[in-house]
Amino acid sequence: MKFPTNVLLGLTLSLVSFPASADEGMWLFNDLPKAQLAEKYGFTPSEAWAEHVMRASVRFNSGGSASFVSSRGLVLTNHHVGADTLQKLSTAERNLLEDGFLAKTPAEELPAPDLELNQLVSIEDVTERVAAAVKEGMPAAEAMAARRAVTAKIEKESLEATGLRSDVVTLYGGARHHLYRYKKYTDVRLVWAPESGIAFFGGDADNFEYPRYCLDVCIFRVYEDGKPARIEHFLKVSAGGVSDGEVVFVSGNPGRTQRIFTVAALKYQRDHYLPFVLDYLRRREILWQQFGLEGEEQARRAKDDLLGIQNGRKALGGRLQGLQTPAFFAAKEAEEKELRQRIAGDEKLKQRGAAWQMIEDVQKRRKAALGRTGEFAGALYDIAQQLVFLSIEDQKPSGERLREYRDSARESLLQGLFSPAPIYPDKAKAELADSMALFMERRGGDDELVAKALDGKSPETRAAELIDGTRLTDVDYRKQLVSGGRRAIEASDDPMIRLARLMEPEARRLRQEQEELAEIEQQAYSQVADVLFAIHGTDTYPDATFTLRLAFGPVAGYRESGSVIPPWTTIGGAFEHEKRHGAKDPWILPKSWHAARSRLNPETPMDFVCTADIIGGNSGSPVVNREAELVGVVFDGNIQSLTANYFYSDEQARAVSVDVRLILEALRKVYNAGGLAGELGR
């Protein structure tokens, strides 16, 4: 599965890239490649088409994509995008993640504790206004402050004028700034989810593999004023589905790509960043595996985290493998060398040449900073840290605050802070203890801040004392601290708040350091982008930024190890796949599927692949045809697509989608949900 983007530990920059292959590109909705589409596919998306697809697309702010699929607010996304909510709605007695859920009536639909869904409504270019605020020659810290201030101002003005969530998005490595306005939905309710056994059939073993046999979808409904929201732009369902070779369009929110990272930046990824993060992911994977061994309920509590970590480990491992392929690097080096030689000989561009060295210097500083941290892990510590930061940030004007504490982001921040989602003390202790042990490992046991944070105790003892002692599990107490402001925080004797206060200066210092590095990179990459615009023109797309993009390409199989992988799998194939693996975990189809087997048409398409250019964050993206009808839902890329962060290829890399015909067949024949199936597209 593609991972929700917020946990991808992604990089912070958006970069420009130039399509080398025909179907490459994660295109901006206000700058679609019309000429290219017309030439290659004889299709020119009209303004109305683009507007409709854009407004029918939904972003899960927690990291993921989705679409409106009915006039009464139904939202279709991946099971693994909804998994966080399924986990939060589950208890020891009712495991929705594992066993699935169906609301038979609207009254049975389950409110998600903290989802925020965004519908993109408009895009406005504000590059000039942002650029005017940052003067040439400003030191990084000052430039950063100026950029932060103007950005906050633009967003606040827009919010006040329109009432819409307003985000300034940095594109092309800083060369462009666009203002995205979203309609927000925060009353989101669970309608239907299948069992994880079919949503994630084949588990970690099949993840990123193809052929696949997954029904990785679930359905929510957005409400307004306590009633199902009226949705104007929703996707109709394609009656006949899609056919082999037909071009399809993917409208979703790819997380982060690094397509035109300089060679120095890629080397930092290869030799330092990715190995470092992978060590961390393996540590967390073992942590949750071990926690799950303590009992069935513990395994349930850790399940969603474990799946996420395993997915990240496999995805980043694939990226690292790509970077460890010398041929890839040789090509990048040759390309960069040629470009720099060309600049050196160009009077106008010459001065931009320094950007590459700036980027290389930043990598050295990034390397030195790897592993430095001023915070601990786990929901309760996160809450404490946010409360402490909020109390301090709120004493400054909005434009001077850290980004997530600015006025225009307040609603989203508080929704998370006041989430009633369950927090399990045993799990919180394991997580906090491990992060305290890691903090000690990284700074050394003699470090002064380590000694203060641990208060003379071992990580396990200290974590247990903190979790047992904190009142932050109580949402009312959090509210009380927010409304009490800085005075309440300073007066609080809650041990977790005290710990977060102790850590705050270090956390702030390290964050400042990171943001300054990002600012320097942004300035450098915007020069790189200028060079590329000057040489290649501007008919291109920026690197992904977890904002809405359109990708496209035909449904197409591929060759692997000498055999041809067909584009489709079928329901019949799923049963065969189960049998081939001896019906052992993770290849056990749910009981509901075995019970329904005789009713199911084994020829029904299950999953299919296409060449559209996607990445983590695209999970749940609708796949539509030329008529803007829904034909599928993206849920994964194959193993060959894992290097898509750095380059696009249509040789073997494929996006993997659930076929809409499977969704209809399963709803009707497995889940006895004909009513819901009938509502799709209406």
Choices 449-457, 538-546, 636-644, 651-659; region in contact with its own copies by CB under 8 A: 449-457
- Among the residue ranges 322-330, 348-356, 497-505, 635-643, the one whose residues contact its own copies (CB under 8 A): 322-330
Both tokens of 121, joined, read 């409504």
Q: Residue 368, interface with its own copies (CB under 8 A)?
A: no
Q: Residue 629 CA to chain centroid, in angstroms?
A: 25
Whether the Cβ atoms of residue 628 and residue 49 lie closer than 8 Å to each other = yes
In the stretch 571-590, what mask flags binding to its own copies with x, by CB under 8 A? Answer: -----------x-x------
Question: Which of 157, 411, 441, 490 touches its own copies (CB under 8 A)?
Answer: 441
**Alpha-carbon distances of 487 from 98, 373, 477, 484, 491, rounded to whole Å:** 44, 26, 14, 6, 6
313 binds its own copies, rule: CB under 8 A = yes
Q: Which is nearer to its own copies, 271 or 404 (CB)?
A: 271
Q: Which is nearer to its own copies, 271 or 513 (CB)?
A: 271
Applying CB under 8 A, among 55, 176, 267, 577 the residue interacting with its own copies is: 267
Question: Distance between CA atoms of 77 and 243, rounded to whole angstroms?
Answer: 22
The verdict on 286 binding its own copies (CB under 8 A) reads yes
> In which region does residue 208 sit, left (phi positive, over 0), alpha (psi from -120 to 50) or beta (all else)?
left
Does position 285 bind its own copies by CB under 8 A? yes
Separation of alpha carbons 492 and 505, rounded Å: 18
58-66, 117-125, 172-180, 263-271 -> range binding its own copies (CB under 8 A): 263-271
* 76 touches 66 (CB < 8 A): yes
* For its own copies, the closer CB: 134 or 454: 454
Distances (CA, A) of 344 to 107, 340, 531: 68, 6, 11
Size of the site for its own copies (CB under 8 A): 40
35 lines the binding site for its own copies (CB under 8 A)? no
Note whether 440 binds its own copies by CB under 8 A: yes
Q: How many CB atoms lie within 10 A of CB 6?
A: 17
- For the bound state, the minimum distance from the C-beta of residue 379 to its own copies, rounded and expressed in Å, comes to 23
Which residue in 266, 116, 163 sits closest to 645, CA to CA? 266
Q: Nearest approach, Cβ of 341 to its own copies (angstroms)?
A: 21
Tokens read off for 655: 């996006």
Shortest distance (Å) from residue 97 CB to its own copies: 19
Sign of the torsion formed by the C-alpha atoms of 432, 437, 440 and 442 = negative
| Binding flag, residue 137, its own copies (CB under 8 A) | no
Task: Decide: is 345 part of the binding site for its own copies (CB under 8 A).
Answer: no
Q: 346 vs 460, which CB is nearer to its own copies? A: 460
Contact 648, 290 (CB under 8 A): no
Measured over the CA atoms of residue 155, residue 158, residue 159 and residue 165, the dihedral's sign is negative
Tell me which of 43, 49, 329, 533 binds its own copies, using CB under 8 A.
329
Nearer to its own copies, 382 or 455 (CB): 455
- Token pair recorded at residue 90: 């589950």
Q: How far is the CB of 437 from its own copies (least distance, A)?
A: 6
Q: Most distant CA pair in the chain: distance in Å?
A: 73
The CB-of-526 to its own copies minimum distance in angstroms stands at 27
Our finding on whether 454 is near its own copies (CB under 8 A) is: yes
Contact 194, 218 (CB under 8 A): yes
* From candidates 50, 149, 437, 510, binder to its own copies by CB under 8 A: 437
Check: CB of residue 582 under 8 Å from CB of residue 207.
no
Is 325 near its own copies (CB under 8 A)? yes
Angle between helix 379-393 and helix 495-536 axes, rounded to 10 deg: 80
Positions in 184-223 near its own copies (CB under 8 A): 204-205
Locate all alpha helices (DSSP H) within 58-195, ordered by sequence.
79-88, 96-99, 127-133, 140-162
Residues that bind its own copies (CB under 8 A): 204-205, 267, 270-271, 275, 279, 282-283, 285-286, 290, 293-294, 296, 313, 320-321, 323-327, 329, 437, 440-441, 444-446, 451, 454, 456-461, 582, 584
